[in-house]
Chain A
């Protein structure tokens, strides 16, 4: 198993044409279904900032990934939970297709744009579908008062809170280099990331993020071939 798990920025796959499902979603879902053996945990986070901006495509992708044996989690800014009934239906649809967690992804700026009603709709929709209300909060150096405010609001609505405060990291992207990639994979199991600019990256977390480039999803090479051990590992390290 080469990779820990994966993240997909939905916007990288979304190039809607007259309401049709983008071909890239079909292709990527199908490529992931060929790649389950490469993952330690078959978990895919769909985001990056708000996967719910394209609800039709999101459901389509989730459905295909679930069928391929992946567990999916959705990251959202929460801005789309404007209407109570629609919010409940959106979360219900995602859960029906296999989503296990719907996580608010906020930062000191985004949190200011989330109204109390929208927050309450998100929490209620999660409760109705048997999910926890969860929040990832990215911050620079200090945690603002708004972080503690929103925690208190969630707690009042749900009694339960699940939080992930996360200090923003400097991210350095490295160009493709087989020797470096092979070493990275030999040392541990990085996260496979498809970023908003369609890059396929191996992400190593530490005090900073190191993203090692292995290709682009709209290149001719299929993803399953792009990420397979035969391409990325030197012969002596292929026993991984």
Chain B
């Protein structure tokens, strides 16, 4: 069996954000104030050092992590002591005051900050004008922190429309990642349907090279931060109850998770059709994250998959008892 490999540990300590974007999958916003549980996060990081197949990089997501700067510093200090570097995603609102922002990033850099992902697109711009993002880029370049510009696109708003609003000097030597808005979370009702990119092959593919071990503010752990974390059915367990390294060890033998990761969401389509649930499968998806998030949010779908996987697990156990484990490799990749 191939081990699961995680490209980093994503911490989502709060869904509190200073803005409320129409496309936001976790539906973050100003009313979701929740202080970070710093001690729980520190324990989680210490336990995560025991996970051999985890790249030692922490990524702060949210919510807007700069609403909790002092807590973030404390967690980063602990993470650095445990041998982790860190990155974060932010909307850049702090760049209204560049001098103060520089000081904050100097402190974070000393604690191992290796990259900042700046979110800007048509949705973020409804709250934060581009001059703030331009300021943010200047601050980060002056401090010497690599930048990724994250741009969510729609059929009407392509990535070049955003880039045209920045100067060549702003764009010089930064990474730009354009990705399509996914119809999950707030986007399902706040983004017009004709804005979504959809394709018949959207659900095809798998994510075994794209995993990030993700911890939500309630302590639940998920295999990625691209939609699974919105589905309790895909939780690997809760760090309040068990150390994260134990949860990862358990995930290694979770056949449903393994199949989803190695074979992708479309690998369940035949099973669902056989269970009389073909109507739950769309003809087009934006990507595998869209298919995964939508299917595993549906209780009927999850029940059917669990029933089938349960039967496979019973079969597997009988094979293990008889000393033949070839079926395990064949089924879970």
- Which positions in A face B, CB cutoff 8 Å? 130, 139, 141-143, 148, 151-152, 155, 159-167
Contact = CB atoms under 8 A, between A and B. Distances in A.
B326 interface: no
14 contacts: A151-B158, A152-B160, A155-B159, A159-B199, A160-B177, A160-B179, A160-B180, A161-B159, A162-B177, A165-B172, A165-B176, A166-B172, A167-B168, A167-B173
B175 A155 contact: no
A32 B59 CA distance: 32
Contacts of A152: 158-160
Contact of B168 (A130, A141, A160): A141
Contacts of A130: 205, 209
A163 B176 contact: yes
A161 B177 contact: yes
A152 B178 CA distance: 11
B175 A163 contact: yes
Contacts of B158: 151-152, 155
- SS class, residues of chain A in contact with chain B: mixed
Task: Report the contact-size class of chain B (Cβ under 8 Å from the partner).
Answer: 20 to 34
Contacts of B279: none
A94 B209 CA distance: 17
Given A143-B168, A148-B163, A165 B177 contact: no
A159 B168 contact: no
Contacts of A143: 168, 171
Nearest to B172: A167
Interface string B225-266: 000000000000000000000000000000000000000000
Interface string B186-200: 000000000001010
Contacts of A161: 159, 176-178
Given A130-B205, A151-B159, A152-B158, A162 B176 contact: yes
A165 B180 CA distance: 20
Interface string B153-178: 10000111001100011011111111
Contacts of A148: 160, 163-164
A127 to B, nearest CB: 9
A53 B160 CA distance: 30
Nearest to B196: A159
A152 B159 CA distance: 7
B286 interface: yes
Contacts of B180: 159-160
Contacts of A159: 153, 179-180, 197, 199, 286-287
Contacts of A155: 153, 158-160, 178
Nearest to B179: A160
